[in-house]
Amino acid sequence: MKASIVDCEGLVHIYKAANLEVVALQGLDLEVAPGEMVAIAGRSGSGKTTLMNILAGLERPTAGVVRVAGNDLSRLSGSEQERYRRDVVGYVLQHAMGNLAPYLTAIENVQAATVTGTARGRSRAAASLLERLGLGARLSRRPGELAGHENQRLALATALANHPRLLLADEPTAELDTAAAAQLLGDLTTVLREEEAAAVIVTHDPQLETYVDRVVMIRDGRTSSERRWVEREGALIHDELAIMDRAGRIQLPRAYVDKLGLSGRVRLHLEGDRISILPATGDESA
């Protein structure tokens, strides 16, 4: 069995805002297999962007372990962080233009992001990648001359220029309509499989779930549940699982908590191979 490309264990990140300390991640666990596509979802403030910045080598965790492709990100020196960001990961920011040089053409943007090979080799590789991402007829256009969905494709191309082991993308379809998003996701999925690259994608786009291997939900700085499409009796259905961390903790779905009126202490019953979670009553002898 291959080692995980991403392995986060007990990940904690605390940052200061004004005179306050904010706990963005509080004991998060996450594993991503080589070649796997994982979507990260959760409410604003749940810790998604912090997680992405740590995986990108832009921020260091306060505590816990985070390894990507064998690199312990809490221990990298400055030069090692630069090498990591150059060779191991590709990061697409939420707004495509933040990834692009507006004065360069599409092919020049990808060439500028490529760090190995001869000038001719970089040109051929950039043209091939842009062709695979649907921009073969736009090589000489600058970002200001491209449509929004084309700039998003160009941003992805620059992130993939060095054949990263892991692609990180923050809301890559947020500014696209439904049709453009579906076309981009289909092309991106094909390229990632050809490159044998894993991907972690932050999203609020429900249609992305049909393209990824699983969706991991983050709540209050921890992974809380995951869902994936599975085939049962000839039909595809959503299979949702709560995530138990290494300390044996789980977060119950908010809808379940509200429906059962759970708060504070709850009662657990072990019944054969099942555990029941019930509201605690005032009768502790029951």
pLDDT digits (tens, 9 = 90+) for 222-267: 998 888 777 777 776 777 788 887 778 888 878 888 888 888 888 8
pLDDT digits (tens, 9 = 90+) for 35-49: 999 999 988 888 999
Q: Decide if pLDDT at 177 tops 60.
A: yes
pTM of the model: 0.88
SS3 166: strand
Q: Decide if pLDDT at 3 tops 70.
A: yes
- Whole-angstrom distance, CA of residue 241 vs CA of residue 135: 39
pLDDT at 109: 97
pLDDT at 264: 84
Q: Decide if pLDDT at 62 tops 90.
A: yes
CB contact at 8 A, 28 and 1: no
Over residues 181-195, the mean pLDDT reads: 94
Q: Decide if pLDDT at 271 tops 50.
A: yes
Residues in Cβ contact with 163 at an 8 Å cutoff, skipping those fewer than 6 apart: 195, 197
Query: What's the token pair of residue 78?
Result: 């400055």
- Whole-angstrom distance, CA of residue 32 vs CA of residue 244: 16
Domain boundaries, given as residue ranges, for the chain: 254-286
Give 206's DSSP letter.
Answer: G
pLDDT at 48: 92
Residues in Cβ contact with 268 at an 8 Å cutoff, skipping those fewer than 6 apart: 275, 276, 277, 278
Helices (H), the chain: 48-55, 78-87, 106-113, 119-132, 148-159, 178-195, 254-260
Q: Decide if pLDDT at 286 tops 60.
A: no
Q: Decide if pLDDT at 285 tops 70.
A: no
Q: In degrees, to the nearest 5, what angle opens at C-alpha 26 toward C-alphas 22 and 29? A: 145
Over residues 47-69, the mean pLDDT reads: 94
pLDDT digits (tens, 9 = 90+) for 5-34: 999 999 999 988 778 888 899 999 999 999
pLDDT digits (tens, 9 = 90+) for 139-166: 999 999 999 999 999 999 999 999 999 9
Written as one letter, the residue type at 231 is: E
CB contact at 8 A, 23 and 35: no
Say which residue the tokens 């749940």 belong to: 46
**CA-wise closest residue to 211 among 231, 182, 235, 236:** 182
Bridge-based pairing of strands 63-68 and 6-17 is antiparallel
